[in-house]
Amino acid sequence: MLTLVIITICVAVIYDFLNGMNDAGNSIATIVATNVLSPKLAVAWAAFFNFLAIAILGTHVAATIGKGVIVPDVIKGDYIFILCSLLGAGTWVLICGLNGIPNSVSHALIGGLIGPALIKGGTSAVFAAGLFKIIIFIALAPLFGFVIGYFFMAITLMIWGRKPPLKIDRYFRVLQLASSAAFSLGHGGNDAQKTMGIIMMLLIGTGYLPADTTSPPFWIIIICYTAIALGTLLGSRKIVKTLGAGLTHLKPIGGFCAETAGALTLFAVTIAGIPVSTTHTITGAIMGVGVTKRASAVKWRLAGNIVVAWIITIPCTMGLSALVYFLIHLFL
């Protein structure tokens, strides 16, 4: 069964790569929309800082995913459990990415884990407290981004609002390089760790790692950060368009405030070991910045479509992964 374990690890790394592709739009949307960097330079910038997060943000989220969502005994000796979870979640991410719909790769993964767990062990196979914390932060992550983005933009406008617009743009074009780098650090730190947790869960469940393992081996860390960085290099341009231009009009000062708000939120939750959606976070921050102009500056209908995608992600990926798990058991 070692071959199946290796195949599953490869699928997990591909999923991490897709995570980078999907969330590249989140990482570079504002810096591209404000014309601070071209899309090619922006993805290279984001990918570099995705990888740099390896040295800064630890593995707390990996531990939460690996041991805090489903009961470890459920996958003990089950070589296809993780594979089915990844296939169900990956299918949903591809559907959304191809249609330019910002979605949560993080919550797709959570739903992908829960689906087979419910089939195999019922509700007792899921840690209610861990799932509750994740669901709470589906709402709190964009709310934090919105509030921080709003107040940060308001304070920045109080300080800079009377200066010549050209001077403001020139100054914040430079600052936005730093804020974009910070957000990409947060993205890499939170999202790469989710795949680390999945691989760690697989290796513990199949006996290749001790049951008391609390942090993934270094080779898993390197592979996951590399995969998400490479995925970012080939990121979804459709999502860049949706977030960077479709949601509200941004100038460098607004892009700086949105990225800073998103980065602060991601740093806090990553250190706390909470898996959140970078899509949720930056979307909330962009909306908060947009509202400082006027409420109508945000395209609320588009925002509503994005929220609907968030709400249905976990149920849809639960269904898809459960179906894959059922069919594989049925025929094999």
How far apart, in whole angstroms, are the C-alpha atoms of residue 63 and residue 198? 9
Residue type, 90: G
Please tell me the distance from the alpha carbon of residue 200 to that of residue 106, in angstroms, as a whole number: 16
Q: Give the model confidence (pLDDT) of 277-294 as tens digits.
A: 887 888 889 889 888 887
Provide the angle, in degrees to the nearest 10, between the axes of the packed helices 278-291 and 252-271.
140
Domain total for the chain? 1
As a whole number of angstroms, the distance between CA 330 and CA 66 comes to 27
How far apart are alpha carbons 36 and 41 in whole angstroms? 10
Tokens 């995913």, residue?
Answer: 65
As a whole number of angstroms, the distance between CA 45 and CA 153 comes to 24
- Give the residues across from 70 on adjacent strands: 126
On average, the pLDDT of the chain sits at: 85
End-to-end alpha carbon distance in the chain: 14
Q: What is the pLDDT of residues 38-96, one digit of tens each?
A: 877 888 898 899 888 887 777 888 888 888 888 888 888 888 999 999 999 988 888 87
Statement: the pTM of the whole predicted model exceeds 0.95: no
pLDDT of residue 172: 92
- Do 108 and 313 meet the contact criterion of CB atoms below 8 Å apart? yes
- Band of residue 117 on the pLDDT scale cut at 50, 70, 90: very high
Phi (first) and psi of residue 204, to 5 degrees = -70, -45
- 118-148 pLDDT, tens digit per residue, is 998 888 889 888 888 888 887 788 899 999 9
Alpha carbon of residue 235 to chain centroid: 13
What percent of the chain has pLDDT above 70? 91
Task: Give the three-class secondary structure for 70.
Answer: strand
pLDDT of residue 100: 65
Task: Count CA atoms within 13 Å of residue 324 on its CB side.
Answer: 25
Domain span including residue 211:
2-331
Kindly report the backbone phi and psi dihedral angles of residue 70, in degrees, each rounded to the nearest multiple of 5, phi listed first: -120, 155
Is the CB of residue 278 less than 8 Å from the CB of residue 138? no
**pLDDT score of 239:** 52
What average pLDDT score do residues 225-243 get?
72
